[in-house]
Amino acid sequence: VKTKVYEPATGTSSFEIVWISQASAEQRAGRAGRIGPGHCYRLYSSQIFSSMKQFSTPDILSRPIDEVVLMLKLYLGNTKLTLFPLPTPPLPQAIEAAERRLIALGALKEIVNASGGVSRTITDAGKWMTRVPVPARFARMLLFANQCQLMPYAVILVAALSVPNLFLSQVADTPVSEQEKTFQSNFVQQFVRKASITANEFIIFKEDLYLGDLAVLLGTICCLERYSAQLSGLTPAEPGIIESVGGKTYVSRDPEGALRQLVHRCGVRWNAYKEVKQLRKQLTDILNVIIPDLGLSIDLCLPKPSDFQMIQLRQLFLVGSPCQVAKKLNVSVTGLPGNERRRLRYAYEIPGKQGPVFIDPNSTLARENFPFVAYLELHTTSKPFLRSVCAIDPRWIPFLAPHSYAVSELVLTDNVDTSENKSGNQSTVNESNNSGNSDDEGTKSAANTSVTSNSVVSLPTPRYDSERDIIVTGAKSIMYIGLGVVPESSAPLFDNQFLDLPSTVLVPINSIAAAQTLGFKESLTWSVRWFTRYILEGVIFSEFKKWFPLKIKKSISPHIVTVSWGIIRPEVRSIVSLLVTDKIDSKRKLLQQWESDVQLSLINIDSPDARQTSVFYTENVLLSITLFVLVGE
Domain boundaries in the chain? 2-60, 64-135, 140-316, 321-392, 398-630
The predicted structure's pLDDT at residue 406:
93
Cβ 580 vs Cβ 525: under 8 Å: yes
* Distance (Å, whole) CA 549 – CA 553: 9
**What pLDDT does 145 receive?**
94
Beta bridge partners of 378: 12, 386
Determine whether 39 is exposed, middle or buried from the number of CB atoms within 10 Å of its CB (0-12, 13-18, 19+): exposed
Residue 19, Cβ density class (10 Å: 0-12 exposed, 13-18 middle, ≥19 buried): middle
Q: Is 142 left (phi over 0), alpha (psi -120 to 50) or beta?
A: alpha
**In this predicted structure, what is the pLDDT of residue 624?**
40
Interval 25-84: pLDDT, tens: 888 877 777 777 888 888 888 888 888 888 888 878 777 888 999 999 998 887 788 778
90, 57 contact by CB (below 8 A): no
Which helix (DSSP H) or strand (DSSP E) does residue 378 occupy?
strand 372-380
* Residue 96: predicted pLDDT: 87
Say what the pTM is. 0.80
Kind and range of the H or E run holding 525: helix 520-536
Question: For the chain, which residues score pLDDT lower than 70?
Answer: 6-14, 170-207, 333-335, 415-457, 485-496, 544, 546-556, 595-633
Contacts of residue 53, defined as CB under 8 A and 6 or more positions apart, other chains included, come to: 19, 21, 22
E-assigned strand segments in 307-352: 325-328, 347-349
Q: What is the mean pLDDT of the chain?
A: 77
Distance of CA 276 to the CA centre of its chain: 24
Query: Torsion over CA of 277, 282, 285 and 287, rounded to 10 degrees?
Result: -100
Multiple choice CATH, 64-135, 3.40.1190.20, 3.40.190.10, 3.30.565.10, 1.10.10.10: 1.10.10.10
Q: DSSP secondary-structure letter at 167?
A: B
